[in-house]
Amino acid sequence: MGMGIDRVLFSVDYPFVENPPGTKWMKGLPLSGEDKEKIYNGNARRLLKR
């Protein structure tokens, strides 16, 4: 069983790692805009019911 895109959240270990390297890495991933939106905030909103 694999883990789908609906189970992935974007996070960085701030203040130990700054946000720009993480967002740059995300921009380079071969994912659709819809999938990136899920990772950036959609999945967290659904999880937290916001």
Query: Looking at residues 26-48, what average pLDDT do you find?
Result: 95
For 29, residues 6+ apart whose C-beta sits below 8 A from its C-beta are: 36
**What's the confidence (pLDDT) of residue 1?**
63
Query: Looking at residues 2-13, what average pLDDT do you find?
Result: 90
Query: Looking at residues 18-43, what average pLDDT do you find?
Result: 93
* Region of 49 on the Ramachandran plot (φ > 0 left; ψ -120 to 50 alpha; else beta): left
pLDDT band at 7 (very low <50, low <70, confident <90, very high): very high
* H/E segment holding residue 26: helix 19-27
**What's the confidence (pLDDT) of residue 28?**
95
